[in-house]
Amino acid sequence: MSSSSTKKVGSIFDREEEAPKRLQVDKRREVMRNRSMPASSAKDARKMFVAMDGNTGNKAVGRKVGRSPTSVVPNANNIKQMLLKWCQAKTRGYEHVDITNFSGSWANGMAFCALVHNFFPEAFDYASLDPKNRPKNFQLAFDAAEKYADADQLLDVDDMMLMGNRPDSKCVFTYVQSLYNKLRRFEKPLTPLSPVIKVMGGISPTAKAIANEEAAGNPPR
């Protein structure tokens, strides 16, 4: 028997060994074609690619992206200030609450309780709370927010206790932002004008000012 008869010609083993070689040859051919492509053809190919990509919805390719003005897209600081003012408006008048930041102002848990109590006054008796009983305040606020507003407990009571009087502002801000997204669904709409006011010719400037404050999320003082 000849040596050639012992070789498995065209077997799967030979094809597996030759596959990488064929792939390398194909890659070299592709590179050579690209190098030999005229400049005009290359430009046309790029234009065609940009046009095809634009049709698929990717608008970022082929054009410069300008900076959006801050009046249209608020930056992180503006968002924080807006959220801070919203919290101040919703907790105005609550004892032991003075929100000026997203750290120490929330350290004893009373701000969380006041914020939740503003929307769900039946959830617990705010007047009975003690600012010195921090773990109870945290747990009460987190549980009530989850029960009544379906807000996930992104903060842990033990972690808040360990952070002491200066909790991490990023953690607090993240949770408060989550609360805002949940609680705003329970904000009461403005009361429509009564028939008496309509007959009398409109609404007084004072009532209009109060309505504007409520529409902006600022309850009357």
Does a structural domain hold residue 169?
A: yes
pLDDT tens for the chain, 221 residues: list them. 544 444 444 455 555 556 666 666 566 666 555 554 444 445 555 555 445 444 444 444 444 444 444 444 567 789 999 999 999 999 999 999 999 999 999 999 999 999 999 999 999 999 999 999 999 999 999 999 999 999 999 999 999 999 999 999 999 999 999 999 999 999 876 444 444 333 334 444 544 554 555 555 554 44
Does a structural domain hold residue 50?
A: no
Model pLDDT, residue 220: 42
Number of domains in the chain: 1
Reference 153, options 161, 164, 163, 143; nearest CA is: 143
Q: Which helix (H) or strand (E) holds 146?
A: helix 134-149
Which tokens hold the place of 165? 């009087």
Does a structural domain hold residue 135?
A: yes
pLDDT tens sequence across 79-121? 999 999 999 999 999 999 999 999 999 999 999 999 999 999 9
What are the angstrom distances between the C-alpha of 144 and each of 120, 121, 126? 8, 10, 12
CA 61-64-68 angle, to 5 degrees, is 120
Does a structural domain hold residue 33?
A: no
Does a structural domain hold residue 67?
A: no
Does a structural domain hold residue 191?
A: no
Which segments of 26-118 are extended strands (E)? none
What residues make up the domain containing 81? 76-186
Does a structural domain hold residue 24?
A: no
Model pLDDT, residue 105: 98
Does a structural domain hold residue 207?
A: no
Tell me, what CATH number does 178's domain have? Answer: 1.10.418.10
Distance CA 208, CA 215 (A): 10
